[in-house]
């Protein structure tokens, strides 16, 4: 039995002699039909995956139900001469989808909450599942309503994922690779201070600041002069979280409710800025300027004009969080 879905295109099933990896994604979606993303990768909305009966025993009922009813199924598959073993081919397919998942989170503030990852093959005895786990979860922070996943998001993420895979496979660049990893970790954080901490760490992987003032100055490359004061506050809030202090310590004092709203706004701004930095880094292969500490220092020593030409247009941070609504921010509990 193939990994069958309600979609009629036979190419969307795992056929004999193929290995596969999949992510059953818990996400709001506006997809109108299957999307072929190239390189053997597909996205299927409301796939209604038909699982063999014995899969429920392998996976557990909760995971099996999550796969059966997933709003979006991401599927990667490829022919194999070794369908009987779980090996580097399965790992490669899974990494392809993991990169796509990372790039989806980078492509926009989407209503995505994570999903179930699984991989296997279809051999003489039918399709099997050899490994299963959860993706990293995503906490959607209150204050903004996130839009559903669309085909343009997927196509942008698919192109970006090729560059991301190239970056991760390249030697060296420890700082940048840690920033990429931290970007994903930040989405799991519910605590405002820790969420800002992780997103600012991600940005600082590129900024490489030695203190708050340098972070503010260098961040002008990303947000322009006007929003650099926001970056200064973000850096201070990051330091507060690093030292287990209240996020607002050292900021202008505000009444309790206004202080809470400011914290949520800053968290959304940190997320938007980190997303912009990661997309720019990967989509334009800007990592070529940041391959090691010497190249990083060299990049920040060239003129403002040269850096702007190399990096590209700044982010309009105010526009990025224009839909922020204090009414969506819950009272502190």
Is the pLDDT confidence value at 314 over 80?
Answer: yes
> Over the stretch 218-248, which tens digit does the pLDDT of each residue have?
999 999 998 999 999 999 999 999 999 999 9
- pTM equals 0.90
Q: For the residues 16-25, what does the mean pLDDT come to?
A: 93
Instruction: Provide the CB-side half-sphere exposure for 40 (13 A, CA).
Output: 17
Segment 1-16, tens digit of pLDDT: 335 444 444 445 788 9
Give the number of residues written for the chain: 333
What is the torsional sign of CA 267, 153, 74, 285?
negative
What does residue 50 show for φ and ψ, rounded to 5 degrees?
-95, 110
Q: Which of 117-126, 203-212, 257-266, 320-329 has the lowest mean pLDDT?
A: 117-126
The pLDDT of 275-298, averaged and rounded, is 89
Q: Please report the pLDDT score of residue 123 as a whole number.
A: 85
The pLDDT assigned to 10 comes to 43
Average pLDDT, the chain: 90
Q: What percent of the chain has pLDDT over 90?
A: 69
- Where is pLDDT greater, at 197 or 51? 197
> What pLDDT does 287 receive?
87
Q: What average pLDDT does range 327-332 have in this prediction?
A: 89
Residue 95: band (very low, low, confident or very high) from pLDDT cuts 50, 70, 90: very high
């Amino acid at each position: 039995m193939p990994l069958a879905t309600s979609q009629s295109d036979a190419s969307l099933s795992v056929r004999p002699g193929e290995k596969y990896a999949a992510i059953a994604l818990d996400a709001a979606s506006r997809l109108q039909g299957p999307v072929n993303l190239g390189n053997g990768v597909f996205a299927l909305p409301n796939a209604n995956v038909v699982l063999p009966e014995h899969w429920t025993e392998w996976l557990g009922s909760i995971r099996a139900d999550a796969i059966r009813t997933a709003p979006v199924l991401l599927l990667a598959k490829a022919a194999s001469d070794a369908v009987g073993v779980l090996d580097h081919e399965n790992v490669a397919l899974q990494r392809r989808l993991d990169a796509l998942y990372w790039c989806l989170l980078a492509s926009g503030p989407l209503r995505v909450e994570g999903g179930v990852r699984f991989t296997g093959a279809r051999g003489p005895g039918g399709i099997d599942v050899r490994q299963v786990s959860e993706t990293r979860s995503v906490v959607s922070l209150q204050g903004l309503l996130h839009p559903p996943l669309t085909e343009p998001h997927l196509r942008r993420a698919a192109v970006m994922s090729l560059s991301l895979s190239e970056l991760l496979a390249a030697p060296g660049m420890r700082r940048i690779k840690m920033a990429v990893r931290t970007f994903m970790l930040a989405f799991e954080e519910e605590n405002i201070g820790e969420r800002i901490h992780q997103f600012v760490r991600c940005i600082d992987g590129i900024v490489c600041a030695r203190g708050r003032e340098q972070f503010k100055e260098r961040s002008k490359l990303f947000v322009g002069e006007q929003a650099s004061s926001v970056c200064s506050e973000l850096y201070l809030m990051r330091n507060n979280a690093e030292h287990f202090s209240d996020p607002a310590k050292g900021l202008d004092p505000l009444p309790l409710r206004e202080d809470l709203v400011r914290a949520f706004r800053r968290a959304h701004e940190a997320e938007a800025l980190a997303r912009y930095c990661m997309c720019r880094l990967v989509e334009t292969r800007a990592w070529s300027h940041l391959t090691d500490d010497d190249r990083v220092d060299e990049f920040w020593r060239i003129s403002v004009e040269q850096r702007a030409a190399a990096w590209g247009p700044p982010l309009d941070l105010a526009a990025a969080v224009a839909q922020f609504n204090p009414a969506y921010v819950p009272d502190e509990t």
